[in-house]
Amino acid sequence: MFQRFFVPLDGSARAEKAIPVAARLAHAANGTVTLARILVPDAGSDEYGANVLANETRLIQSDVVAEAKAYLDTVLERYDQELEGIHLVLETAPGTIPSTLLTLSDQEQSDLIVMCSRGDTWLKRWIFGSVAQAIFRRSHLPVLVLSEHGATLSLEGSPLRILVPLDGSALAETVLDPIFQLLSTVPASAPHQIHLFQVIATPPATGGLRSAAYLTDALQKEERQAAEYALQALAQRLSRSKPEAARCVITTSVTINPDIAGAIVTHAGAKTSEGAPAYDLIALATHGRTGFKRAILGSVTEHVFGATSLPLLVVHPMTADASARPGKPEHAERPQSWAGLL
């Protein structure tokens, strides 16, 4: 069960949207909430561009620290009802983002980072960067990311409906344990719903290699059936081995689509027969690539992050040993067409 919740704040109302969610989780878990305000240091220069004296810089930074502490006091007053009865930790520290945030979350022995993104489009986020992206690329903790323009995560007793994109790989399945840790913290009047979803990407059938690249209907059907069998077997193993899973309704589906992220976003945007959103949350693992490799290969997680308004639970399995998972038979591993691209 998650018990220590870490909330990064930047002084905006947007970032504060994470506070009520973290507070509800902490109340349910009898846990702790850390509110952190990072102070990006100013090198200090005068109007001619020359560096100011070191002691003047320290005075400037001292004022910034005092302002940050005053801001956190204001936050406590603003969210006094939500935070009442919770053990709180207030952190202010100079440093760079996200490194200092991640250092503080480690120091507080946090279990889950809860934060709100600006909800920029994927293109704008790619150009200007994103603190949320930088954190879930590098954090070894699960990160619950809310969208500024999306619905907040309801934790008021209704069961959560979670979409879990998988690819047949052990890496993608590392998101499952954090899901059940989250669900064990969320009381519900009915069983939670988990949908295991796999996209099989077909190769392009173009140019001179059209005949070689084209997958026949029979091969597509065979691959789809194999993926469906693997997901159903996984759902059965989870129900037997996880107490929390036994109290959930686990369903599965497989689709064939060369646009993996697009297929996930489309499925996540489905509606119920009553017209309500079909899902409350998307949970998935990410490889955390950076730099040139990310520019070449892209990231399914980041495309989904930029295209959906649903909250995301993102897990970076940087220390996961996929081969050590108990109870998983050798034959359950399937060849995957997009393993590691999340």
3-state percent helix, strand, coil for the chain, nearest multiple of 5:
45, 20, 35
> Do residue 67 and residue 116 come from a single domain?
yes
> Do residue 199 and residue 234 come from a single domain?
yes
First to last CA, the chain: 25
CATH of the domain at 219: 3.40.50.620
d(CA 101, CA 94): 10
Choose the final residue of a domain: 152, 170, 204.
Answer: 152
In this predicted structure, what is the pLDDT of residue 125?
42
Structure tokens, 207: 């140019």
Given a cut of 50, whether residue 341 has pLDDT beyond it is no
> Do residue 17 and residue 127 come from a single domain?
yes
Q: Quick one: which of 285, 306, 286, 309 has its CA closest to 126? A: 306
Instruction: Quick: pLDDT tens for 302-332.
Output: 888 888 889 999 998 764 443 333 343 333 3
- CA 277 from chain centre, in angstroms, equals 19
DSSP 163-213: EEEE-SSHHHHTTHHHHHHHHHHS--SS-EEEEEEEEEPPPP--GGGHHHH
Instruction: Quick: pLDDT tens for 252-285.
Output: 999 999 899 999 999 999 998 888 889 999 999 9
Backbone angles phi, psi at 308, to 5 degrees: -115, 150
Structure tokens, 333: 């591993």
> Do residue 250 and residue 341 come from a single domain?
yes
Instruction: Quick: pLDDT tens for 169-204.
Output: 888 999 999 999 999 988 888 899 999 999 998 765
pTM greater than 0.85 (yes/no):
no
> Do residue 243 and residue 182 come from a single domain?
yes
Choose the final residue of a domain: 103, 123, 152.
Answer: 152
Choose the final residue of a domain: 152, 176, 193.
Answer: 152
In this predicted structure, what is the pLDDT of residue 201?
85
> Do residue 202 and residue 171 come from a single domain?
yes
> Do residue 217 and residue 142 come from a single domain?
no
Per the structure, how many domains does the chain have? 2
Q: What is the pLDDT averaged over residues 150-157?
A: 76
> Do residue 200 and residue 291 come from a single domain?
yes
- CA 256 from chain centre, in angstroms, equals 24
Q: Quick one: which of 155, 159, 172 has its CA closest to 114? A: 155
Q: What is the pLDDT averaged over residues 225-250?
A: 93
In this predicted structure, what is the pLDDT of residue 48?
35
> Do residue 187 and residue 148 come from a single domain?
no
Place of tokens 């240091």: 41
> Do residue 44 and residue 160 come from a single domain?
no
Peptide bond into 98 cis (omega under 30): yes
Domain residue limits at 70 = 1-152
Instruction: Quick: pLDDT tens for 76-133.
Output: 999 999 999 999 999 988 777 888 899 999 999 999 999 998 654 444 444 334 778 7
> Do residue 198 and residue 324 come from a single domain?
yes
> Do residue 111 and residue 163 come from a single domain?
no
